Structures are given as structure tokens and as C-alpha cells.
Amino acid sequence: MIELETSGFWLSAFMVALLVLPVLAFASLLKQNFKGRHRLIWVLIIIFLPFFGPILYFLIIKNYKKFNLIKRKFK
């Protein structure tokens, strides 16, 4: 009986993440200073990979921001 309740919790958490992550990724994407093609590619990735696309976006954008800060620092 406990397993059934636990699986329901994880399913609900996954469904919430499936809805919230793309919205957060799109909001973050609008704030970023990407060129036209790069923004379009990210939109397609987020749409066609609804769970892994936003996670991939947040992992890559973190490194992108760090690289841009380092690049600006040395100019």
C-alpha cells in the first residue's frame, strides 16, 4: 500500500516538473542575449524534449554565462 502512495507522489512530481521546467526555460531564454538561430534552436529543443530539453538548457546556459563573463573580463 505504501508503494502505491509513493509512486503516485513521484508521478505527480514528474508531471509538475514536466509543466514547470519548460515555462522556466522559456522565461530564461527570453532574458538571454542569443542570436536569432540560437534562440530558435533552443526553442525547438525545449519543445521536442519537454523534460530533458529544459534541463539541458539550464546546464549549458550556466557554462555559457561563465564563459561570457571570463571572455568579457579579458577584453
Residue type at 4? L
Strand (E) or helix (H) holding 24: helix 2-31
Can you tell me the distance from the alpha carbon of 46 to that of 25, in angstroms, rounded to the nearest whole number?
Answer: 8
DSSP symbols for 19-65: HHHHHHHHHHHHHS---HHHHHHHHHHHHHSTTHHHHHHHHHHHHHH
Q: What is the DSSP letter of 35?
A: -
* Total residue count of the chain as it appears in this document: 75
pLDDT in tens, the chain (75 residues): 455 566 788 888 888 888 899 999 999 988 887 777 888 999 999 999 988 999 999 988 877 766 665 555 555
